[in-house]
Amino acid sequence: MRVLIVEDDARLADYIRKGLSEEAFSADVAADGESGLLRAQAATYDLIVLDLMLPDIDGMTVCRRLRAAGNVVPIVVVSARGMVDDRVSALNAGADDYLTKPFQFAELTARMRAVLRRRDPTGFVPLTVADLSLDPVSRIVRRGERRLDLTQKEYALLEYLLRHAGIVVTRTMIAEYVWNFHWDGLTNVIDVYVNRLRRKMEEAGEARLIHAVRGSGYVIREPERGD
């Protein structure tokens, strides 16, 4: 899942970004309200972590402008302002949750997942193709009865493919969602990770599920005769 962190404290933003990457989230960082608003309007995010006291445009205004523009992306506010009036104002402005600084990272991710479940309960149901299953809650991946040991990026890549099962996803789409960079056609990092996934998924002789589509990208689908 892709998250936008709008936070002017560089150390805190990096702490959140690194922690989310360990939880298989892909995260972008904006250091002020104006750039955060532009990023939120220009790209598709699953959730925004938003500070209130920001340079240029404050977080409350960012929240109001997004909602006024019809953007319904879930927003979790993290702020040092802990008064009841601050929390009420943020929630009335369109925020989905409010967490007071300082906070434990585990609570932030728990609140994020709770917000995402409320917005889309189906986003946390197990994903399956053939005998492959991925549980977004426990983050356990199995091929039949065999549990797969995946790295964070391998997991994120597989989850993205499974959420688009039967649909060809381009390398550009994968790069932007999983790695947060624009595909330039020169790097083979995506192909390397797909091959790593294939080796782990097929090590017991199972049928191939991830297929390359020449000139386009990859698709994960049920095996067909001849696969």
Q: What is the mean pLDDT of the chain?
A: 92
Residue 227 placed within a domain: no
Decide if 169 is inside a domain. Answer: yes
Domain boundary among 105, 121, 137: 121
Instruction: Tell me what pLDDT residue 227 has.
Output: 60
Same domain for 207 and 146? yes
What's the domain count of the chain?
2
Asked if pLDDT for residue 180 goes beyond 80, the answer is no
Number of neighbours of residue 67 by Cβ within 10 angstroms:
15
Q: Are residues 89 and 140 in the same domain?
A: no
Residues 45 and 70 in one domain: yes
Least confident of 26-35, 59-68, 98-107, 176-185: 176-185
Task: Record the tokens describing residue 13, joined without a space.
Answer: 């933003």
Given a cut of 60, whether residue 9 has pLDDT beyond it is yes
CATH of residue 23's domain is: 3.40.50.2300
Q: Of the residues 95, 121, 147, which one is the last residue of a structural domain?
A: 121
- Residue 207 belongs to domain with CATH number: 1.10.10.10
pLDDT value at residue 188: 86
Cα separation, 149 vs 197, whole angstroms? 10
Is the preceding omega at residue 102 within 30 degrees of 0, hence cis? yes
Lowest-confidence range among 105-114, 190-199, 200-209, 216-225?
A: 216-225
- Residue 1 to residue 26: CA distance in whole angstroms: 6
| 60 and 129 housed in the same domain | no
Dihedral over alpha carbons 33, 35, 41, 42 (to 10 degrees): -170
Q: Percent of the chain, pLDDT > 70? A: 96
Is the domain of 79 the same as that of 98?
Answer: yes
Shared domain for 73 and 172, answered yes or no, is no
Give tens-digit pLDDT for 53-70: 999 999 999 999 999 999
81 and 19 together in one domain: yes
User: Are 103 and 13 in the same domain?
Assistant: yes
Asked whether residue 104 falls in the same domain as residue 158, the answer is no
Task: Please answer whether residues 99 and 78 qualify as being in contact, where contact means their C-beta atoms are separated by less than 8 angstroms.
Answer: yes
- On whether both 67 and 171 belong to a single domain, the answer is no
- Among 99, 121, 143, the domain boundary falls at 121
Q: Residue 226's pLDDT is what?
A: 61
Show the domain range for 175. Answer: 125-220
CB-based contacts of 175-182 (< 8 A; 24+ apart in sequence): 176/43, 177/2, 177/26, 178/26, 178/153, 179/26, 179/153, 180/2, 180/26, 180/27, 180/28
Model pTM greater than 0.85? Answer: no
- Residue 133 pLDDT: 97
Which tokens hold the place of 142? 């199995």
